């Protein structure tokens, strides 16, 4: 199915689900009709998953799995082509002392850095499900999202034309919090359309909710549903520029949304927690939460990612300790 045909199918399904055209009134009726979030129950479930013991033979599997799900990121104003090339080198060979260490899923950069990432990856640029490395580009006036739609679309089209496989867009949080749901919906639809390539394929669209600015779990749930209804391929917690960024309860809630969407439509949507996940101990909790909430089928690059800049360093350290027999890492949570 081409990107255009897929968009038309999804638009019709959305109209059927929400009971009309996606205007403010119809979207508000649908989103506010969703069951409310039991905050205490959500936090207790998330906490419980972080306290389980682990089998020794699961540790190495978990470490390698996490590495394959990382979007290795540099999103600084001082980024240079040389820094991006160094990032790519680390993405391709995370541990220079061990050729068996798996590659990460993607490198995530600003749009103007995409050509340098593509060039540096060379023949290794491709689908991470096939062991290659994708290029993700943040777009749409990241991290604030404060720009006209025309600028956001131009930003997206340029990144895709330069070879970006994935676009990480930010929603207009101000519009969402003001109840202008149709504005947010229409912008996601337009950005998804801008991800289309001339050959009929499309870059994957990750929709960043910036959950730290949404204030309540109910808002996170509504924003997650809105992003999926509008055509997002992934829902992503954060830009990493706002605190709090990713948290386990928020990520669990977003996983519950994609689980419910899958049960409703048969379509699998990805989830990407980003920002603040720095240690293997923390990352394992997220992997367990995925396995327990949506199933281990989601533990593949096209359905789950970690947005991180420093997490990989700790994963390599823990991996080396296990290899040398001097492992002193955390008590991991079992996932088997």
Is residue 1 within 8 Å of 9, Cβ to Cβ?
Answer: yes
Q: Where are the alpha helices (DSSP H) in 35-123?
A: 39-49, 56-68, 81-92, 114-121
Which one, of 137, 139, 131, lies nearest residue 103 by Cα?
131
Selected catalytic residue, list 71, 168, 233, 314: 168
Q: Active-site residue 241, yes or no?
A: no
DSSP state of 101: S
* Catalytic residue from among 272, 282, 285, 314: 272
Give the end-to-end CA distance of the chain in Å, rounded to a whole number.
36
Segments of 64-215 assigned E as strands: 70-73, 106-110, 134-138, 166-170, 204-208
Burial of 33 (0-12, 13-18, 19+ CB in 10 A): exposed
Q: Is 206 a catalytic residue?
A: no
- 3-state SS string for 251-276: HHHHHHHHHHHHHHHCCCCEEECECC
Closest C-alpha among 160, 116, 114, 108 to residue 136: 108
- Is 130 a catalytic site residue? no
DSSP 113: G
Active-site annotation holder among 59, 90, 152, 236? 236
What is the per-residue DSSP string for 6-49? HHHHHHHHHHHHHTS---HHHHHHHHTTSPPP-HHHHHHHHHHH
Q: Helix (H, G, I), strand (E, B), or coil: what is residue 240?
A: coil
CA distances from 275 to 248, 293, 308 (A): 12, 21, 6
Q: Which residues are catalytic?
A: 168, 236, 272
């Amino acid at each position: 199915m081409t990107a255009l045909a897929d968009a038309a199918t999804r638009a019709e399904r959305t109209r059927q689900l929400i009971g009309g055209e996606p205007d403010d009134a119809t979207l508000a009726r649908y989103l506010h009709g969703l069951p409310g979030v039991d905050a205490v129950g959500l936090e207790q479930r998330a906490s419980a998953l972080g306290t389980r013991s682990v089998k020794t033979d699961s540790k190495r599997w978990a470490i390698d799995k996490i590495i394959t799900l990382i979007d290795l990121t540099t999103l600084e104003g001082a980024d240079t082509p040389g820094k991006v090339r160094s990032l790519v080198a680390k993405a391709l060979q995370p541990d220079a002392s061990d050729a068996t260490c798996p590659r990460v899923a993607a490198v995530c950069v600003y749009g103007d850095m995409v050509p340098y990432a593509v060039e540096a990856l060379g023949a290794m640029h491709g689908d991470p499900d096939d062991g290659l490395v994708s290029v993700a580009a943040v777009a749409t006036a990241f991290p604030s999202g404060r720009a006209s739609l025309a600028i956001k679309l131009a930003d997206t089209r340029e990144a895709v034309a330069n070879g970006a496989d994935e676009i990480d867009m930010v929603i207009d949080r101000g519009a969402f919090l003001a109840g202008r749901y149709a504005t947010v919906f229409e912008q996601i639809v337009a950005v998804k359309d801008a991800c289309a390539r001339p050959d009929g394929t499309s870059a994957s669209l990750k929709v960043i909710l910036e959950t730290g600015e949404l204030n309540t779990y109910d808002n996170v749930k509504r924003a997650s549903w809105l992003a999926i209804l509008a055509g997002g391929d992934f829902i992503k917690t954060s830009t990493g520029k706002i605190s709090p960024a990713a948290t386990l309860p928020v990520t669990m809630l977003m996983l519950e949304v994609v689980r419910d969407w899958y049960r409703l439509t048969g379509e699998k949507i990805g989830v990407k927690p980003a920002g603040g996940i720095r240690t293997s101990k923390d990352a394992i909790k997220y992997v367990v939460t995925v396995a327990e909430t949506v199933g281990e089928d989601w533990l593949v690059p096209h359905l789950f990612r970690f947005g991180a800049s420093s997490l990989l360093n700790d994963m390599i350290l823990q991996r080396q300790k296990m290899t040398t027999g001097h492992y002193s890492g955390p008590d991991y949570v079992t996932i088997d």
